[in-house]
Chain A
Amino acid sequence: MKPSGNILFCGVGGQGILLASEITAFALLECGLDAKKSEVHGMAQRGGSVVAHLRFGKKVFSPLIDPGQADFLVAFETMEAVRYLPFLHQASRVIVNTHQIAPPAVATGKMIYPADLLSHLTSRGIAVYPLDGFGIARAAGEIRTANLVLVGALSTFLPVEEEVFLEVLKKRIPRKLEENIAAFKEGRKITA
């Protein structure tokens, strides 16, 4: 596994992408790697499209991932995975929550939520790992752990041992630790 990489997290404001990117960053840092993470706060929090850039390696300069340079995309919502296509390259891996949230134009009946969105990625040869984050989280005992299912699925591709992630979860998750660990482990099974 490469000891450097670029991970883009995207979703809809309020879905918990910050916690997911934070947990991932801590795990990478625990392994002695350098990392930088860029977020945008402010207006974007109110139901808009949100994104966080996480870069890791021996030494990281730019906090931003360039177009065409995201090795991993962790998408909390299906349409958002496709919105960030210009950040991907042919060997990118995309972990996507199959959950759909209607943007305003769709919710008011002006546009339709496009069908078969992920084919925009697969048709370009990009590896896509769709998963039902909420379904899996509910089965793990807590629907709010969907973000950890996604982190779990991502984790198998990173140069970080599972134990390191589990240590980070123990330190950083204040409540419902068992459910969070269960969700994380279910996520790992999807990409293992």
Chain B
Amino acid sequence: MTKVSSKNKQWLSGNEAIARGAWEAGVTVASGYPGTPSTEILENLSSYKDVYTEWAPNEKVALEVGMGASFAGARVLVTMKHVGLNVAADPLFTASYTGVRGGIVIITADDPEMHSSQNEQDNRHYACAAKLPMLEPSDPAEALAMLKQAFAISEEFDTPVLLRTTTRVAHVKGLVATGKRKMGPVPVAVEKAPAKFVMLPANARMRRRAIAERMVRLAAFVETFAANRIDQGDRKIGFITGGISYLYVKEAFPKAVVLKIATTWPLPVNLIRDFASQVDEVIIVEELDPFLETHIKAAGIACTGKAKIPAMGELNPFIVKKALGQPTGEIFAPVDIPPRPPNMCPGCPHRGLFYNLGKYDVFIAGDIGCYTLGFLPPLSAMDSCVCMGASIGVAHGMDKALGEAARGRTVAVIGDSTFIHSGITGLINMVYNKSMSTVIILDNRTTAMTGHQANPASGSTLMGEPANAIDLAELCRAIGVKHVRTVNPHDIKACKKVLTEEIDRPEPSVIISQAPCVLLPEERKRPKTPLSIFVDNCTGCGTCVHLGCPAMSWVPLTPAEAKKLGKKEKQKGYARISAEMCNDCGQCLAVCKFKAIGKAEGTK
């Protein structure tokens, strides 16, 4: 958090603003599961005093924890990325029935354009489907202010509230007015309320009616909610928009009249109808699905939306202008240059495992994490990736489809955090229903992909306390896996032997590939001796370069240059290692057959 001296405001990202807002709103319990672009909310909130924060093993658990804390009267923040809400959807739909004691706000951080996600689902539909109010801020300042309003709404209307951000709200920095902490109105206590909290059919039917009444009250409330507002202007086109799209409209059409919708659900239908009657034409600007458009049209209000505005990917002012036929000027065409996709770090333990695995004729059911990068060349060792935990089910399903021919043909690859998130039940199924598949758990002691959060196998908590670290091998044995082997992925040869044995085994087996992520603080501190190439011995076979380590590169040679170096003219080049980047994992050394790689001088 950073104070800007010239104004009484702070320069915060949307996520930092939400953390600050939660603290100001008197939140005392917060739970979530990491996921871009939501992760920094809890990371920030954990640095505030008087707030209990935790990483749950998955989003469903996080929301259930949130409900319990709310039932006890606490104000609660629950955070997740858009796909996380799918995992939490089961408690979500019934949390709508139980309602709350202390306010609950659930952050759903959506990722239009899929900057770091496997799909770009539009979570506004959840609000409508689960009959919950949803608010959408446009920038960090609004995120803080709306979060506080959301808690008041939650308690006043006895409902969890969804607050939806997108990448360009969560990861945008702007000036934010901050305030003091003020605790919520509900006393913390055990107060039993079975008719409200025990959702068996008789009670649920009663609560179903309570929801209907609540939605009627909310529909009236949003009509005069001040954050639903009109920016006056030229009335030829009246824009209706919300969230980040509002800012794009203001930038593209600064003079137009704009109805800014803060309550995505329920919609202020009368306000919208009134607005529409005062302008020549209504244009709806929203990212992704025609959510506002569909519901506004359903109310019998004429408008244009997705007929002009793209329904895929992010918008920006340029796209909005172009879609509405405004001049945008000439744009320089892109230059055709080599792409620069992300890559696993130098010395990443995952790389060694994939290097080996790519050599087997198996279907590699992959999962989500840093290791998904094993899909990219030169490793190219992943054949499917669906959602967190899916690898194990996919491998087992394929195993069953192949029948007798399945032996030695399917492998699931899953990270430690992902395994705990939603892989364990898949493994139980594999044992119970007698799979021949092999599960490889890539245990790097952390949730690396989202920025190294601790998880139940890491031995510490979000608040920095030591904690139990699950013994993954014992867990798998307890499930009933008879063959559980632990390997060091940097030891290419030993690892290969174990892979061959376990992949061929006509029973379920688990290989735990165990070595820490190189970006963990302990690993960073470990003294390292970079490796280097003995150019004289390098035959240019390219084996080491095909590990794809960013510390290694290829120096091309012309026949004349090769000859000058005393090599065969047909040698196309040789490998090189950057001493600054090498993390001394030894994988390249292990794959070189020509004694061309060794330790360089000195330790770093």
| Residues of chain A at the chain B interface (Cβ within 8 Å) | 12-13, 25-26, 29-32, 34-49, 60-64, 66-69, 79-80, 82-83, 85-86, 88-89, 102-114, 117, 120, 124
Could you tell me the distance between the alpha carbons of A79 and B317 in the complex, rounded to whole angstroms?
27
Q: List the B side residues contacting A30 at CB < 8 Å.
A: 4-6
Q: List the A side residues contacting B167 at CB < 8 Å.
A: 40
Partner of B542, one of A40, A45, A109: A109
Q: List the B side residues contacting A120 at CB < 8 Å.
A: 335
Q: Are B342's CB and A13's CB within 8 A?
A: yes
Could you tell me the distance between the alpha carbons of A114 and B337 in the complex, rounded to whole angstroms?
7
Q: Are A66's CB and B36's CB within 8 A?
A: no
Q: Are A82's CB and B168's CB within 8 A?
A: no
A67-B331 in contact given A37-B173, A44-B116 (Cβ < 8 Å):
yes
CB-nearest residue of chain A relative to B576?
A: A107
How many residue pairs link A and B with beta carbons under 8 A? The number is 182
Could you tell me the distance between the alpha carbons of A104 and B552 in the complex, rounded to whole angstroms?
9
Q: Are B450's CB and A42's CB within 8 A?
A: yes
A104-B377 in contact given A48-B343, A85-B335 (Cβ < 8 Å):
yes
**Contact-residue size bin, chain B (C-beta under 8 Å from the other chain):** 35 or more
CB<8 Å pairs between A and B, sample of 27: A36-B139, A36-B174, A38-B173, A40-B116, A42-B116, A43-B342, A45-B342, A46-B343, A47-B343, A48-B342, A61-B248, A61-B250, A63-B247, A64-B248, A66-B316, A66-B318, A79-B340, A86-B333, A86-B334, A88-B332, A89-B329, A104-B376, A104-B548, A106-B554, A107-B548, A107-B554, A109-B554
Could you tell me the distance between the alpha carbons of A85 and B331 in the complex, rounded to whole angstroms?
9
Q: Are B370's CB and A46's CB within 8 A?
A: yes
Given contacts A42-B37, A42-B116, A108-B554, 10 further A-B contacts (CB under 8 A): A29-B7, A43-B342, A62-B248, A63-B174, A63-B244, A68-B328, A79-B337, A89-B329, A104-B341, A112-B556
B172 at the interface (CB under 8 A from A): yes
Q: List the B side residues contacting A88 at CB < 8 Å.
A: 332
Q: Are B332's CB and A68's CB within 8 A?
A: yes
Contact residues, B17-47 vs A (CB, 8 A): 36-37, 39-40
Q: List the B side residues contacting A114 at CB < 8 Å.
A: 337-338
Could you tell me the distance between the alpha carbons of A48 and B370 in the complex, rounded to whole angstroms?
13
Q: List the A side residues contacting B40 at CB < 8 Å.
A: 41
Q: List the B side residues contacting A68 at CB < 8 Å.
A: 318, 328-332
Could you tell me the distance between the alpha carbons of A43 and B376 in the complex, rounded to whole angstroms?
13
Q: Are B345's CB and A108's CB within 8 A?
A: no
Could you tell me the distance between the alpha carbons of A109 and B546 in the complex, rounded to whole angstroms?
10
Could you tell me the distance between the alpha carbons of A69 and B248 in the complex, rounded to whole angstroms?
14
| Residues of chain B at the chain A interface (Cβ within 8 Å) | 2, 4-7, 11, 36-37, 39-40, 115-116, 139, 167-168, 171-175, 244, 247-248, 250-251, 254, 316-318, 328-335, 337-345, 370, 373, 376-378, 449-451, 542, 545-546, 548, 550, 552-554, 556, 572-573
Could you tell me the distance between the alpha carbons of A88 and B333 in the complex, rounded to whole angstroms?
10
Could you tell me the distance between the alpha carbons of A84 and B459 in the complex, rounded to whole angstroms?
43
Say how far A177's CB is from chain B's closest CB, in angstroms. 17
Q: Are B172's CB and A37's CB within 8 A?
A: yes
Say how far A10's CB is from chain B's closest CB, in angstroms. 10
- Which among B333, B342, B546 has the highest number of chain A CB atoms within 10 Å? B342
Q: Are A62's CB and B4's CB within 8 A?
A: no
Say how far B309's CB is from chain A's closest CB, in angstroms. 15
Could you tell me the distance between the alpha carbons of A27 and B565 in the complex, rounded to whole angstroms?
53
Q: List the A side residues contacting B139 at CB < 8 Å.
A: 36, 63
The 5 closest A-B pairs by CB, nearest first: A42-B116, A48-B342, A42-B36, A109-B554, A66-B318
Q: Are B556's CB and A32's CB within 8 A?
A: no
Q: Are B545's CB and A107's CB within 8 A?
A: yes
Q: Are A47's CB and B554's CB within 8 A?
A: no
Could you tell me the distance between the alpha carbons of A38 and B317 in the complex, rounded to whole angstroms?
14
Q: Are A62's CB and B316's CB within 8 A?
A: yes
Q: Are A108's CB and B340's CB within 8 A?
A: no
A109-B116 in contact given A26-B11, A40-B167 (Cβ < 8 Å):
no
- Which among A31, A46, A83, A102 has the highest number of chain B CB atoms within 10 Å? A46
CB-nearest residue of chain A relative to B248?
A: A62
Could you tell me the distance between the alpha carbons of A153 and B519 in the complex, rounded to whole angstroms?
31
Q: Are B168's CB and A63's CB within 8 A?
A: yes
Q: List the A side residues contacting B248 at CB < 8 Å.
A: 61-62, 64
Q: Are A83's CB and B173's CB within 8 A?
A: no
A62-B247 in contact given A46-B373, A107-B554 (Cβ < 8 Å):
yes
Could you tell me the distance between the alpha carbons of A46 and B374 in the complex, rounded to whole angstroms?
13
Say how far B188's CB is from chain A's closest CB, in angstroms. 35
Say how far B112's CB is from chain A's closest CB, in angstroms. 12
Q: List the A side residues contacting B341 at CB < 8 Å.
A: 48, 103-104
Could you tell me the distance between the alpha carbons of A49 and B250 in the complex, rounded to whole angstroms?
29
Partner of A105, one of B2, B5, B332, B339: B339
- Which among A36, A62, A82 has the highest number of chain B CB atoms within 10 Å? A62
Q: List the B side residues contacting A63 at CB < 8 Å.
A: 139, 168, 172, 174, 244, 247
Q: Are B338's CB and A111's CB within 8 A?
A: yes
Could you tell me the distance between the alpha carbons of A67 and B247 in the complex, rounded to whole angstroms?
16
Say how far A171's CB is from chain B's closest CB, in angstroms. 8
Could you tell me the distance between the alpha carbons of A29 and B173 in the complex, rounded to whole angstroms?
12
Q: List the B side residues contacting A117 at CB < 8 Å.
A: 337
Could you tell me the distance between the alpha carbons of A39 and B170 in the complex, rounded to whole angstroms?
9
CB-nearest residue of chain A relative to B321?
A: A66
CB-nearest residue of chain A relative to B553?
A: A107
Q: Are A43's CB and B175's CB within 8 A?
A: no
Q: List the B side residues contacting A104 at CB < 8 Å.
A: 340-341, 343, 376-378, 548, 550
Partner of B317, one of A12, A47, A62: A62
CB-nearest residue of chain B relative to A39?
A: B171
Say how far A176's CB is from chain B's closest CB, in angstroms. 18
Say how far A101's CB is from chain B's closest CB, in angstroms. 8
Could you tell me the distance between the alpha carbons of A104 and B376 in the complex, rounded to whole angstroms?
10
Q: Are B173's CB and A36's CB within 8 A?
A: yes
Q: Are A44's CB and B553's CB within 8 A?
A: no
